[in-house]
Structure 1
């Protein structure tokens, strides 16, 4: 049974106590669980449409009501997003889809320098060194020159007339402008902080432990370059950093599945079927992390989308090459990246605990962590963790805590794949998940079978 969506008056700009009182009222005077269908229809009867001071609540499969973040700040909000419009659609052809995407992104590129989104990035990450200030000054002149050229081409009718990016319907009022409560939430999200030095201290502490993976020098160098780039490009912008990280973090699982399919198609090896299932569950998990970051506005800037998506393609083929030479190399690199992601999320949660607890979770987080079908979520737990892990999802704090725990699971799985202990883990999981039940009076076929049952 999937989660069900209803509408409620917007309360995010109100004190937390008021919002909690509303939820108690929605759940009944004594906190009893409500009949899902009647409750859903009751709230829907008061819906006036988007942009009228309403937002969603969720009714979980057990009948409990969950508050949800009212607004979706993602660039892809409303299209191309799981759990929104277009679920299960068949894509167009390669060239038609590529041309459509080019036209859309070219318009966003023009908007990026015509309306100077780079100034927002500089304000969030002001340069502190001489070289940084010199680079920022040069970049400002380049953006200004491109904006002037674009206006000239527009006047000559070479390019179509450009207008500012419209505010999405679900976060705009009747006048088309973003209302104060929407702006307040965005401001609170932008107020979240991440100290890179504290992240590296966590990594140094983990590096001193016996579990730290010893990577070949070229893999270690590639990993350090990736982390250094994240620190420099996304200082002061943690949500954009997380969106970049999750865009890239999905790629290894695509690479692993591609290589396993290739080996099977060539007739070389067919024993990777269960491994493909695990890697798909991991990619499914990272997809939801990515969509959570999108809903929080992590993909708003064109330059971030450009960098992340091109880095993802490069990363995909790099991991394919590593896997083709040695699967252990590919898994080692992913283990390093997932470990860094764990440290980053842990530090982010520690620094912003109170701020995160004051905001409810996005819709996609509730869909993933609390929906009725958690098969793929359980498949993520492959290395001794209780497969019935059922995390809380009552606030944005819970969401980021869950993501950090998910990344820990990725690290465990990558370790098990790197040293090939995943084979034993899968065998153990099979034995414990379905313990044989013998008929009354029956005895095991052999002592070996009896020992396995025990």
Structure 2
């Protein structure tokens, strides 16, 4: 029975290579795209050179967002239920996911032991028509071709360190955990799992700004410090930006596996409390640590974009990316880019995954500049909206 199930999955995976309705199990589902997009997919199969996705096309890569919902949804309340109901519901959901993950590992081991190979089925028993004007295409198998070379990322960091005394100026209090974190990431997330690695990074990357807001709020409440009140808005804009990076990774399946969600959520909570303690000891050190992590993110996304440029340019941008970067109200997008005060505003064009990840890389560079500015204890940090 399990072998039959795997053959069915292999057959379903061929939907990514032909314009036919996709059916699936697990968390995968199909999306609809214009017929012109389907024709481009066929041209690519026949050996033609990669073509860019036309401007204005949206994409749903077929990964569900779980049961927690998105703020972009028009239906449903924005106020959650009490903590007991939420915790129990989440525990039940993750327990089911854990069992499915264990079953899939057992199936894989049995399949490998039996010598069975997941080759695409020669019979297209899933072919059909959804509507006359629309066909189903699934790009999930294309996403599996994306890679990230950890050695190349490290080489980028070494090149940056040679330029001046970048690392020498950092305290060992933050350098040691930073180097350990990078070492773990390179070993936990293989070259073939870049999206999962990015999802983990973005889950953790939101925590510093939440921590800084919490500490500034605490200091205000105690009457210790209120000069940083305006910086809270900048940090919230940074957290809002990282949150959308996270939503983009989720739309690409970064949190599809139970093990990644378990690692990301627990690491984020631990990281938040460590940052709170570090802030109490020295806000400058807290900002320095974030500078290191954000700079690592710039190198990582930069390597990913360069390494996968051709493929990324053939894949459409997720709908959430277009909504965030090309929204009619970009106040929050501008707010965290403190280095651009008086220098004009960024207005990204988001048509492909290449555009998406290039802008995420540029966002991380803006975070680096803001973290550097926050370490200056003599000059106030100003957002582009402050005069």
TM over 0.5: yes
Q: 1:231 aligned to 2:186?
A: yes
Tell me what 1:382 maps to.
Answer: 338
Larger radius of gyration: 1
Q: 1:9 aligned to 2:34?
A: yes
Of 74, 99, 110, which residue of structure 1 is paired with 2:99? 110
Give the deviation of 1:428 after TM superposition: 8.5
Pair 1:117–1:194, CA change in 2 (3 A): farther
Which ranges of structure 2 fall in alignment gaps of 5 or more residues? 1-31, 45-52, 114-128
- If asked which structure has higher relative contact order (CA below 8 Å, sep 6+), I would say 2
- Work out whether residues 240 and 297 of structure 1, in 8 Å CA contact, stay in contact via their aligned partners in 2: yes
Matches of 1:371 and 1:319, distance apart in 2? 32
Matches of 2:158 and 2:274, distance apart in 1? 26
What pairs up with 1:87-106 in 2 under 5 angstroms? 89-106=78-95
Matches of 1:264 and 1:73, distance apart in 2? 42
- Work out whether residues 342 and 407 of structure 1, in 8 Å CA contact, stay in contact via their aligned partners in 2: yes
Tell me what 1:206 maps to.
Answer: 160
State the TM-score, normalizing by the size of structure 2.
Answer: 0.77
Tell me what 2:294 maps to.
Answer: 338
Q: 1:403 aligned to 2:350?
A: no
Matches of 1:372 and 1:364, distance apart in 2? 14
- Work out whether residues 198 and 249 of structure 2, in 8 Å CA contact, stay in contact via their aligned partners in 1: yes
Matches of 2:310 and 2:346, distance apart in 1? 24
Give the deviation of 1:426 after TM superposition: 1.7
Give the deviation of 1:290 after TM superposition: 0.3
Q: Give aligned pairs, total.
A: 325
Q: String of CA shifts for 1:133-188, please: whole Å, max 9, x gaps.
A: xxxx9xxxxxxxxxxxxxxxxxxxxxxxxxxxxxxxxxxx98xxxx9832xx1111
State the TM-score, normalizing by the size of structure 1.
Answer: 0.66
Tell me what 1:222 maps to.
Answer: 177
Tell me what 2:59 maps to.
Answer: 69
Which ranges of structure 1 fall in alignment gaps of 5 or more residues? 1-6, 20-56, 58-63, 124-136, 138-172, 432-454
Task: Note the aligned Cα RMSD (angstroms).
Answer: 2.9
**3-state SS of paired residue (2:39):** coil
- Work out whether residues 212 and 235 of structure 2, in 8 Å CA contact, stay in contact via their aligned partners in 1: yes
Give the deviation of 1:72 after TM superposition: 3.5
Q: 1:260 aligned to 2:285?
A: no
Give the deviation of 1:95 after TM superposition: 1.8
Give the deviation of 1:9 after TM superposition: 3.1
**3-state SS of paired residue (1:257):** helix
What pairs up with 1:11-90 in 2 under 5 angstroms? 11-15=36-40, 66-74=56-64, 76-77=65-66, 79-84=68-73, 89-90=78-79
